[in-house]
Structure 1
Amino acid sequence: MNTVLFACMDADTLGGIQRVTHTVAQGLAGRGHEVHVVGLHRAERPFRYVERPAYHHHVIHGTLVGKVSRAAVRREHRRLAGLFGRLAPGFAVMTSPGVVTRLKSLLPGHLLPIGQYHGSYQHARGSWHLRSVRGHYGGLEKAVFVSEDDAWLFSEHALLPNTWSLPNPLPAWPSRASGLTGRRVLGVGRLEGVKRFDRLISAFALACRGAAGSPERRAAAGGPGAVDGRAAMDGWELHLIGEGAERERLHAHALACGVADRVVFRGAVPAADMGLEYLGGAVLGLSSEHEGLPLVVGEAASYGVPSVAFDVSGGVRSLVLDAETGLLVPPADVDAFAAALVRLAGSADERRRLGAAARAHVGQFRLDRVLDRWEELFEHVTR
């Protein structure tokens, strides 16, 4: 068995990187590996991902993520050196570009460095991330990305010789699927700008007004013949599950779009209760500006709930096979998104067809299968 250390800028905030890290850490610990999760900084509002962790947890700084004084840097280096020195040979998995730049020069030789990037190539290209990945990941044992598309794009455009793909795992596998009879579109995630729930509300409003039924928009959504959007959406609601700074603005936007009575702000729902939400849903809407490999799509699919999603990354495309397991529409095309919603709302048979295929497809993201791939990665690095 191996020693595996996962390092995050902040390991305990409610977020995708943190959730994946704790899920994989618990899974590997359950297989007998000695696992450590390190947060370089404390979380402002710590979230408990695992009730009974089988891994070790460390927080280096008592301060939030931000600028660090020289004295704090020296303390960080001493604490990390002490921790690294106590560990048996194994692997140090750095979960973001910021962590790689902070830690890679500090790692001792007996901890082999692996860098993860949880975002998409498209997102990295529009930020400082691509420059950082290009400058720092090539010298690691492996540079790990969430989809084969992203791994290929980084190898070609960031000139990385060491790319590997590893998907994010589903934390659990439900025993039953949704009946898809509830007239409910789900939007799940932090109510923050990057998730663009305003576009989801706009698309829902267009669909409800019957404004998504033109031949051009039906073609964009991959749909068949004419669908009466107003009739198809009769009785449907949009449920937004999550909290965030955009809540009031989104409520005002729903009011301006004329659907405030049909958009339900559910707030934060405990992870243990999310299964009931998916069982009560019929369609998931993913309206994000960018995504790596969105767990909410995989979770919805595991309950047999198909998704309508903006085609923003290889990770999204690895989960949503257009017209096979869900519907993909061009990024930011709200009209096409509305047409896709009408298509699924108007046909229970179509929802069931896509939902059943989605559940079968995401079986490859079950935790045990992803853990197998982590162990294959460790074996490959040490061969």
Structure 2
Amino acid sequence: MRSRNVFFLSTDGDSMGGSQRVIHTLAQGLGSRGHNVTLISINPSRQPQTYVADPVYRHTTLYDTPAPESTGRALPWRRGRLRRTPEEVAAARRKLLRLTDRTRDGYLVIASPWAAHWIADLPMPHIAKVGQYHQSYTEAVDSPNLRLIKKHYAHFDKALFLCDDYAASFTGHRLANCGTMLNPVSVFPEKAAPLRNPRIVSAGRLVRVKRIDLLIDAFAAAAPAVAEPWELHIIGGGPLRAALEAQAARTGLGDRIVFRGQVENIEAEYLDASIVTLSSDFEGWGLVLAEGAACGLPAVACDASAGVRTLVEDGDNGILAEPGNAGSFAAALERLMSDAELRQRMGSRGRERMREYRLPRVLDRWEALFDELDR
């Protein structure tokens, strides 16, 4: 396999989020295979995260300062243009062209519709363009993203979505270049979690859409019905932490609901748990579900999208609950909390399903895509 020039373009590649972790994982994986990889963030993050301890890829930002905090109701892709000076915008765009002009060929992977809009009129004829969308089709329809995808992704060499259902839905909007690309899981331990520790784990930003409030209510309803002293460990930070801690205190479960904040070793957290959860109202995919399954954890998840259903098949490797329904989620939790044999069976199935999401297999798919674009 010959070495390629690969650029990943993200609006904010160092911010906290599943798509950011995926991009860094891909950049590291392709770099480790000998490709010349550059991760480009349009905006530096206000709270940068470290996703790869020893990167073998380059990482740069186009603006020197984080995006201005928005006020009012300007649409997302316009906020930067409205708040940045024309000189700042022009300098950032020149920087991107200098980076890509250093190569005679290559591939620019554009990670969001906003990033696609930002580069729409830049001349880069020598670079193959691949648009990715890390959210669900429903989310696109309910936001300006569908319009941006139809406007910009149709002109790219390839438009990639998280599952076949999403690709088929976007194809219905006259996008003839749609395909599916799996997100990789960056964890796949040699041995699965033993599932002996009565601990439930949740990981993600503490923001409204993640519905950690629903998870707390569901756990508070399910825990008293089970003999073992189960704990709920909530990993991640965000603006709702104080309110969620107050809610947890009101349940009367004491220290059985634990707010962990950011952790250094997420794999160890999965291996210490016995159930992984996702309680979001909306979720394009669900990296926490993929990582938990890779570690051998059964899942309880809200049936929030086709992307979630690609990771959790109800009754096979987990249980799907009705979105927004704490009672449905509590019943699913109680069923798994009270049945060790079921946890073992579902955890084993989940780990097996995740083998195709292991990083080497996903990198093979990317290299096959590059071959396709070269023909």
* 2:229 counterpart letter in structure 1: G
Q: Is 1:363 the equivalent of 2:355? A: yes
Q: What is the CA–CA distance in structure 1 between the aligned matches of 2:203 and 2:169, rounded to whole Å? A: 28
> Which runs of structure 2 are paired with 1:327-346 in the superposition (5 Å)?
327-346=319-338
* 1:138 counterpart letter in structure 2: A
For 1:381, the equivalent position in structure 2 comes to: 373
Q: Secondary structure at the match of 1:187?
A: strand
Q: Secondary structure at the match of 1:41?
A: coil
Q: What is the CA–CA distance in structure 1 between the aligned matches of 2:349 and 2:229, rounded to whole Å? A: 26
Q: Secondary structure at the match of 2:363?
A: helix
Gaps of 5+ in 1: 210-229
Q: Is 1:83 the equivalent of 2:90? A: no
- For normalisation by structure 1, the TM-score amounts to 0.91
Q: What is the CA–CA distance in structure 1 between the aligned matches of 2:94 and 2:341, rounded to whole Å? A: 61
* 1:101 counterpart letter in structure 2: H
Q: What is the CA–CA distance in structure 2 between the aligned matches of 1:262 and 1:105, rounded to whole Å? A: 54
Residue by residue, what CA displacement relative to the aligned partner does 1:42-101 show, whole Å, maximum 9, x if unpaired?
Answer: 111222222222112111111212422111111112212211211230111110011000
| Partner of residue 205 from structure 1, selected from 194, 202, 220 | 220
For 2:76, the equivalent position in structure 1 comes to: none
- Cα RMSD of the aligned pairs, angstroms, is 1.4
For 1:348, the equivalent position in structure 2 comes to: 340
For 1:160, the equivalent position in structure 2 comes to: 175
Q: Is 1:106 the equivalent of 2:122? A: yes
Q: Is 1:129 the equivalent of 2:145? A: yes
> Which runs of structure 2 are paired with 1:132-281 in the superposition (5 Å)?
132-156=148-172, 158-209=173-224, 230=225, 232=226, 234-270=228-264, 273-281=265-273
* 1:121 counterpart letter in structure 2: Y
Task: Give the superposition deviation at 1:128.
Answer: 1.4
Asked if the contact 1:291/1:312 (under 8 Å) is kept, the reply is: yes
Q: What is the CA–CA distance in structure 2 between the aligned matches of 1:311 and 1:236, rounded to whole Å? A: 24
* 2:165 counterpart letter in structure 1: D
* 1:242 counterpart letter in structure 2: G
* 2:362 counterpart letter in structure 1: V
Moved more, 352-361 or 287-296: 287-296
For 1:118, the equivalent position in structure 2 comes to: 134
Task: Give the superposition deviation at 1:168.
Answer: 0.9
Q: Secondary structure at the match of 1:164?
A: strand
Asked if the contact 1:324/1:354 (under 8 Å) is kept, the reply is: yes
Q: Secondary structure at the match of 1:37?
A: strand
Q: What is the CA–CA distance in structure 2 between the aligned matches of 1:114 and 1:32, rounded to whole Å? A: 20
Q: What is the CA–CA distance in structure 2 between the aligned matches of 1:259 and 1:374, rounded to whole Å? A: 47
* 1:277 counterpart letter in structure 2: E
Q: What is the CA–CA distance in structure 2 between the aligned matches of 1:12 and 1:192, rounded to whole Å? A: 18
Q: What is the CA–CA distance in structure 1 between the aligned matches of 2:361 and 2:45, rounded to whole Å? A: 30
> Which runs of structure 2 are paired with 1:309-324 in the superposition (5 Å)?
309-324=301-316
Task: Give the superposition deviation at 1:172.
Answer: 3.0
- The 3 A distance-change label for structure 1 pair 330 and 162 is same
Q: Secondary structure at the match of 1:138?
A: helix
Q: Which has the higher contact order (CA 8 A, sep 6+)?
A: 1
Task: Give the superposition deviation at 1:115.
Answer: 0.6
For 2:73, the equivalent position in structure 1 comes to: none
Q: What is the aligned length?
A: 359
Asked if the contact 1:3/1:89 (under 8 Å) is kept, the reply is: yes
Asked if the contact 2:62/2:92 (under 8 Å) is kept, the reply is: yes
Identity within the alignment, %: 41
Residue by residue, what CA displacement relative to the aligned partner does 1:257-277 show, whole Å, maximum 9, x if unpaired?
Answer: 33344211111101xx22221
Residue by residue, what CA displacement relative to the aligned partner does 1:142-161 show, whole Å, maximum 9, x if unpaired?
Answer: 111111111111112x3311
Q: Secondary structure at the match of 1:137?
A: helix
- The 3 A distance-change label for structure 1 pair 310 and 358 is same
- For normalisation by structure 2, the TM-score amounts to 0.92
Q: Secondary structure at the match of 2:285?
A: coil
- The 3 A distance-change label for structure 1 pair 233 and 154 is farther
Gaps of 5+ in 2: 69-79
